[in-house]
Chains A and B, each alone.
Chain A
C-alpha cells in the first residue's frame, strides 16, 4: 500500500522528528510512504480565525497535491479534522454563495481518504500492536479535534497499551481542552494559560514521565507551559512512541 504523508506545516517546520517517526513506523508495517513536496498547510488557522475566503485556495491546493493518492495519513487530529469535517463545509458554502460546485467537486475525493495516524493504523491496517517498545510511564491527552471532531475514541489508548514496556496512566480531566485553540492562545492568552496550567497540574498528578498526544500544536502549548512551570514531564507525540523499538529506542 502506498500512502501520502500529510505532515502539516507545524510538524514540518517545528517537529520534523514526528514526521521521521511516522515514516519509520509505516515503513516497518509494510506501507510505502510518499511525501508530496508541494504540500503546505490545511488552512485551519485561517478558517478558525474567520478568514474563510483565504482558506479556500489552500483547500484547493491540498486537493491538487493529494488528490491522486490512495490514502492520506496525517499525524494530527486537528489538521485531519480540518480536512474531514470542515473541507466539505467550504465546498457547501461556496455553492450556497453562488460560486458553483468547483470547490466541492475538487475536495470530494480527498476528504474520505484522509486519515489521522492512529485511525489509519487501527481501521485501515487493522493493527493495534505495532511492535513498539517504550519503557516509560505515559499519560495520554486526547486532543479536542481528534476526540470530538474525528471521534478517535480509544484507538490511541489501545495502540499505547500494546506497546512493550509502556505503563499507561489515566489523566484526570483528560477530555478537557488544554487551552491551545490556535489563535485563541494569543487572543485570549490569560484564559489559555490558565487552562494550560491546569492541564499540566493534572498531568503531573499522574506521576508519568511523558504526556503523549496526537497533535504537536497542543503539545507545543502544553510543553511550553511545562517548561515555564519547571515540570519534569516531557511532551511526546504518539507517533514517536509507536515508532520506538528495542533496537532503535526513542528518547
Chain B
C-alpha cells in the first residue's frame, strides 16, 4: 500500500483528475452533502452550541499555551498508572520506537485502531519494511488497505468509493490478507459489513499487539480516549497483550471535566450523532484486565514548530472532526487525494504546510486550495479561523519570512514561480496609489474595447479563465468618467 505522499504534484494539477472523474465527483457530492445536512441538524438541536464552541476553543488554547507543563503532568500520570512513555521528535523516531516495541514482543502482526497520527508518520509502511503486518480494523480503513489505496477523508477514509467498488475490492482482495469474502457477495451494506466482521474477527482474536492513536489524553489521570462507531477500536484496545498508542502532543486536555465539551462537539460535528456508539478510555495497565503492557509514544513531528507561529498555531486546536471537509466546496470537487496529505480538506490545507513546511510543490500550493468562502470556519467546533491561516500561509509562500523549523528560527525565501505575480501585484499597488494611472488604464481599456476577445484563449494567467468563462465586455465609459461628466466631479 502506498501511504506516503512524497513528490505529489501541486494541488491544481492533482485536482484536475478528480474534477474530471464523474464517478468520484458523484460519490463525493452525495457523501458530503448527506453528512453536511445531518451535521447541521445535530448541531441545531443543542441550544448552547456557540458556548460549547467557545469553550472548546478556550480549553485548547489554554492547553497549548501551557503544553510543556501538561505534557510533564501527563507523563507522570501515565507512568504512575503503569504505562511507559516515549518521546518522538519526528516520524522516523516514532516509527523506530514502535517497530522496536513490536519486535520486542516477538510478534509479526498488529491490529490497528484507525489513527491519523500513525498515518501521518507512515507507520504501516515502516512496520511492513521490518516484516511486521499491520491490519487496519476500521471498516473504511480496511477498504482503503485492501484496495491498495490511500485514505481521502479524515473520518470516512473511503468516501471516494461507492458500494459497488467496495464489493469488488472485498471479493478480490480479502483472501490475500486472511479470511476470504463469502461466496456471492453483493453490494448491500449488511452483506459488506458482515464480510468485514468475519474477516476482522479472525485478526482480533489472534493479535497479541494493538496499535492505536487517541482522540484525547487527560493530563490529570494519564487517561487516553478513543471515540469510534464500530467497536473495532474497543476490540483492539482490550484484547491484545501489548497496546502501543501513538498520539500527537496537542491532543492533551487538562482534566476529565474538559472532556465534557468535546464529547458533545466531536460526535455532532463528525458523524452528526448526539453521541458516538463507543467511547473507550484506558489508564495505564490493570492486573487481569486488558493489555499487560501499555506504551505511549508522544509525537511532535512539526507540532512545536507550528505552536511557535502566532497565527498558524490555532490549527493545533483541531479535534479531527472533519466538518470542514464535508462543507468545503473545493474538497467536494477535488477529492481528498489532491491534497497530498493524510489531512485533506481545509484543515489539511493549513496543517500540512505547517507540519511539513512549504518547500515542496504540493505544500506551497495547499494554502491556495481554497476560495476563502469561510464555510469551514463557520462549522469548526473549535473555531479555527481557517481562512485567516490560509492567507497567512500564502504570505509565507510568496513573501517568505521567519519561521521555526525543528526548534530553530530560519528565514524562508519566497517560493519559486511567483516572480511574475509578485511583479504584477506590486505594479497594481503602484497604480492604485495613483488615481490618475487607474483612470488612464480604464480609458485605454474603454477605447480598445472592440478589440477585446470575450471567448478567445487569453495569454498568461487569463488562459485559465477563458477556457470555461466569457469575459464581461468593457464598458464605453468607466463610472468615474460618467460621474465627472454628469456631476461635474464635485470632489
A34/B395 in contact, CB under 8 A: no
Contact B329 A177 (CB under 8 A): yes
A148 to B385: give the CA distance in the assembly, Å. 12
Q: What B residues does A13 contact at CB under 8 A?
A: 442, 445, 474, 478-479
Q: How far is the CA of A183 from the CA of B370 in the complex (A)?
A: 10
Q: Is the CB of A50 within 8 A of B391?
A: yes
A206 part of interface (Cβ distance < 8 Å):
no
As a 0/1 sequence over residues 464 to 491 of chain B, the CB contacts with chain A under 8 angstroms (1 = contact) are 1101111110110111101110010111
Determine the chain B residues whose CB is within 8 A of the CB of A53 once the complex forms.
Answer: 399
A1-56 interface (Cβ within 8 A of B): 7, 9, 11-17, 19-20, 23, 34-41, 43, 45-55
Asked whether B398 lies within 8 Å of A34 as measured between CB atoms, the reply is no
Q: Is the CB of B11 closer than 8 A to any CB of chain A?
A: yes
Main secondary structure of the interface of A (DSSP, over half): helix
CA distance A62 to B434 in the complex (A): 12
Residue ID in chain A nearest B36 by CB atoms:
A176
Cβ-neighbour of A184 out of B371, B375, B431, B467 (below 8 A): B371
- The answer to the question of B196 belonging to the interface, with a C-beta cut-off of 8 Å to chain A, is no
Question: Please, which residues of chain B bring their CB within 8 A of the CB of A37?
Answer: 435, 480, 483-484, 489, 491
The reply to whether A193 and B467 contact each other, CB–CB distance below 8 Å, is: yes
- Residue among B372, B373, B432, B445 with the highest chain A CB neighbour number at 10 A: B373
Decide yes or no: A186 and B465 within 8 Å by CB, A14-B474, A14-B475, A35-B487 being known contacts. yes
Interface size class of B (residues with CB under 8 A): 35 or more
- Which residues of chain A (65-104) have a CB below 8 Å from chain B? 89, 96
Chain A residue nearest to B481 (CB atoms) is: A16
Residue A179, interface by CB 8 Å: yes
B391 nearest CB neighbor, chain A only: A48
Q: Which chain B residue has the least Cβ–Cβ distance from A219?
A: B472
A46 contacts across to B, CB distance below 8 A? 425, 428-429
User: Chain A nearest CB: distance from B209 CB in Å?
Assistant: 42
Q: Which residues of A contact B477 (CB under 8 A)?
A: 16
Q: Which chain A residues border B368 with CB–CB below 8 Å?
A: 183-184, 187-188
A9 and B425 within 8 A (CB): no
Distance in angstroms from A226 CB to nearest chain B CB is 9
Chain A residue at minimum C-beta to C-beta distance from B464: A189
Please tell me if A125 contacts chain B, counting CB pairs below 8 Å.
Answer: no
Complex CA distance for A221 and B378, rounded to whole angstroms: 24
State how many angstroms separate the Cβ of A94 from the closest Cβ of chain B. Answer: 13
Closest CB-CB distance, B447 to chain A, in whole Å? 13
Interchain CB contact under 8 A, B484 and A52:
no
Chain B residues positioned under 8 Å from A40 (CB to CB)? 431-435, 438
Give the CA-CA distance A98 to B4 in the complex, in Å. Answer: 41
Most buried by A among B370, B371, B422, B489: B371
Q: Does B9 contact A (CB under 8 A)?
A: no
> Interface residue count for A (Cβ, 8 Å)?
71
Provide the residues of chain B in CB contact with A11, threshold 8 Å: 479
Give Cα A82–Cα B194 distance, bound, in whole angstroms.
53
Tell which of B15, B25, B445, B468 touches A196, judged by Cβ atoms closer than 8 Å: B468
Contacting B435 at CB < 8 Å: which of A39, A145, A188, A192? A39
Bound complex: CA of A194 vs CA of B20, how far in Å? 9
**Any B CB within 8 A of the CB of A233:** no
**Known: A9-B438, A37-B435, A191-B330. Contact between A177 and B445, CB under 8 A?**
no
Tell me whether A20 and B479 are in contact (CB under 8 A). Answer: yes
Pair A179/B329 contact, Cβ less than 8 Å: yes
**A153 an interface residue at 8 Å Cβ cutoff?**
no
Name the B residues within 8 Å of A224 (CB-CB).
465, 468-472
Is A232 an interface position by the 8 A CB rule? Answer: no
CA distance A112 to B480 in the complex (A): 25
Contact indicator B469/A34 (Cβ below 8 Å) = no
In the complex, are the beta carbons of B442 and A177 less than 8 A apart? Answer: no
Contact residues of B between 295 and 333, Cβ < 8 Å to A? 310, 329-330, 333
Find out whether the CB atom of B12 lies under 8 angstroms from the CB atom of A12. no
The answer to whether B397 and A50 have CB atoms under 8 Å apart is: yes
A223 is an interface residue with CB less than 8 A from chain B: yes
Q: CA separation between A96 and B372, bound complex, in Å?
A: 24
With an 8 A cutoff between CB atoms, is A57 at the interface? yes
- Decide if B180 is an interface residue (CB 8 Å cutoff): no
A180 contacts the other chain (Cβ, under 8 Å)? Answer: yes
Residues of chain B within 8 A of A192, CB atoms compared: 371
Q: How many whole Å from B160's CB to the nearest CB in chain A?
A: 16
Q: Provide the residues of chain B in CB contact with A225, threshold 8 Å.
A: 468-469
Docked Cα-Cα span, A217 to B372, in Å, equals 14
With A and B bound together, what is the CA distance between A211 and B201 in angstroms?
56
Given known A14-B475, A16-B479, A189-B467, contact A54–B429 (CB-CB < 8 A):
yes
Is B168 in contact with chain A by the CB < 8 A criterion?
no
A-to-B contact residues, CB < 8 Å: 7, 9, 11-17, 19-20, 23, 34-41, 43, 45-55, 57-58, 61, 89, 96, 144-145, 147-149, 175-177, 179-197, 220-221, 223-225, 227-228
Given contacts A36-B491, A51-B422, A179-B371, 4 further A-B contacts (CB under 8 A): A38-B435, A40-B431, A50-B367, A184-B371
28 interchain pairs (CB within 8 A)?
A13-B445, A19-B483, A23-B483, A37-B483, A40-B431, A48-B391, A49-B394, A49-B421, A50-B367, A50-B391, A50-B395, A51-B398, A51-B422, A52-B391, A52-B395, A55-B429, A89-B388, A181-B370, A189-B12, A190-B12, A190-B19, A191-B15, A191-B19, A191-B369, A223-B470, A224-B470, A224-B472, A228-B468
B binding-site residues for A, Cβ under 8 Å: 11-12, 15-16, 19-20, 25, 310, 329-330, 333-334, 367-375, 377-378, 388, 391, 393-399, 421-422, 425-426, 428-429, 431-435, 438, 442, 445, 454-455, 461-462, 464-465, 467-472, 474-475, 477-480, 482-484, 487, 489-491
Task: Identify the 10 closest CB pairs spanning chains A and B, nearest first.
Answer: A181-B371, A50-B394, A224-B469, A189-B464, A177-B373, A16-B479, A193-B468, A19-B479, A148-B374, A144-B373
